Amino acid sequence: MATYAMPLLVLTITGSSSLTGLAFALEWTPRIAAFVPAGNAVDRRGAAIVCFIASLSRAAVVAVSAVALIMLPSGTAETAVVLVLAAVTGTLSQFGFVANEAVGAVVTRRDQARPHGIQAVLVGIDQTATVIGPLLAGFLVLAGPEWMLGCLSAVSLVAAVLGLQLPPTPLRAARADAAGNDSALRLGLRTLLALPALGWLVAGLACSNLALGLLQSASPVIVVKSLGRSSADVGAMWSAAAVATLLAITCCRLALTRLDLWGVGVVSATLASAAGLAITQAPSYVSYTVLIAMFMAGDGGLTVVLRTVRSLIIPPTALGATLSLTMLLLLLPFPAAGILVALTPPPHLGNVILACGLVQAAALVTIFIRLRTEPTLRMVAARR
């Protein structure tokens, strides 16, 4: 809800495509800044307490913002509230996200026989929430922004309670012995440079995320202003894309019983690249939704590949720091995408999306050619 609803909320309140792109950038920039301290906090304090504090804080901030929107008059004050809200919720969400990623890696190591299956389930959980979140947010925005924020606050409160049930991530002592006085960023960078397969995959997914960020940021403008649909249709589109992603993840789990990670990655990259190149030619809302779903399905397959490799090869003593650094690199394109949308007149958004689609396709082709003989991407198949 937080990721997909904030640009939609800004568009609803301000009617400005530039402020919508700015809100997307403000939502993601603090997220990036939060990754290194979040990884350090997980390594030192454990995932459960980090997830609890982040979720409880988000519930409080969103509730206060909902009250503020009810009391404040329309205009500059409302705009300022939603822009600040986007930045704060983005920051707090990433602390919880890093905590859950660390738990996922720990659980994966406990069942080395089927790491791809565990990662596929974890991505499936994310996508199930993505089916419900945007659709619910889209309808609640129609009822009133305060209703959407109230629901988001309630969900965040539930997340805080569930966060206390997370399994332990006993990384603090190992991290202290191994890293000494090194900063979390330095430890993560050194680990990433020592794992070339992970580095190449992160580079490829970063290019893909630039295209994804543009679509997430620009779609409210395209669907509402260019295609003449409602905010509920924006939410329905992303929910349909999440359903397609769930189907793709299921296919990945089945494919990985016979194929290796490289083969699944190539198929996923081809699907995402083809959709990214074709989406600017979509003549209607239905075709646009279908292409968004194809793009997200391919992106879901690539995410399973990356998360499986990441969970297998990152040393336990550097888990939080390296996870944070890889996430930081993967999310740097999102604020850049928001700035691009803010600076681009709506009639020219299609050209920018096409250019990013070309960059994505070229990057993924280059990287999977580079990794075709990489032993790490054959690891899952060889282990069975």
Q: Could you tell me what percent of the chain has a pLDDT over 90?
A: 19
Residue 317 has pLDDT above 80, yes or no: no
CA 124, CA 258: separation in Å to the nearest integer?
A: 20
Q: Higher model confidence: residue 10 or residue 283?
A: 283
At 155, is the pLDDT very low, low, confident or very high (cuts 50, 70, 90)? very high
Tell me: pLDDT of 344 over 90. no
Q: What pLDDT score does 382 carry?
A: 44
Per-residue pLDDT at 152 exceeds 60: yes
- Residue 177 has a pLDDT of 45
Q: Of the given ranges (84-88, 180-184, 334-338), which has the lowest mean pLDDT?
A: 180-184
Longest dimension (CA), the chain: 63
| pLDDT given for residue 171 in this prediction | 53
Average pLDDT over residues 123-139: 78
pLDDT of the residue at 290: 94
**Which amino acid, one-letter code, is at 307?**
R
Evaluate whether 271 touches 304 at the Cβ level (below 8 Å): no
How confident is residue 116, by pLDDT bands cut at 50, 70 and 90? low
Q: Is the dihedral of CA 251, 256, 257, 259 positive or negative?
A: positive
Burial tier of 313 (Cβ tally within 10 Å: 0-12, 13-18, 19+): middle
The answer to whether residue 341 scores a pLDDT higher than 60 is yes
pLDDT reading at 376 higher than 80: no
Distant-in-sequence, close-in-space partners of 204: CB < 8 Å, separation ≥ 6: 269, 302, 363, 364, 367, 368
pLDDT of residue 250: 84
What confidence score (pLDDT) does residue 184 get? 67
233-240 mean pLDDT: 84
Q: How would residue 136 be classed by pLDDT, with cut points 50, 70 and 90?
A: confident
Q: Is the pLDDT of residue 97 over 50?
A: yes
Task: Tell me if 43 sits within 8 A of 184, measured CB to CB.
Answer: yes
The closest alpha carbon to 278, from 353, 166, 170, belongs to 353
> What was the pLDDT predicted at 354?
92
Does pLDDT of 7 surpass 80? no
Least confident of 32-46, 206-220, 298-312: 32-46
Tokens standing for residue 104 = 């996922």
Question: Which domains, from first to last, does the chain contain?
Answer: 2-171+183-383 (1.20.1250.20)
Which of 113-122, 278-287, 309-318: highest mean pLDDT?
A: 278-287
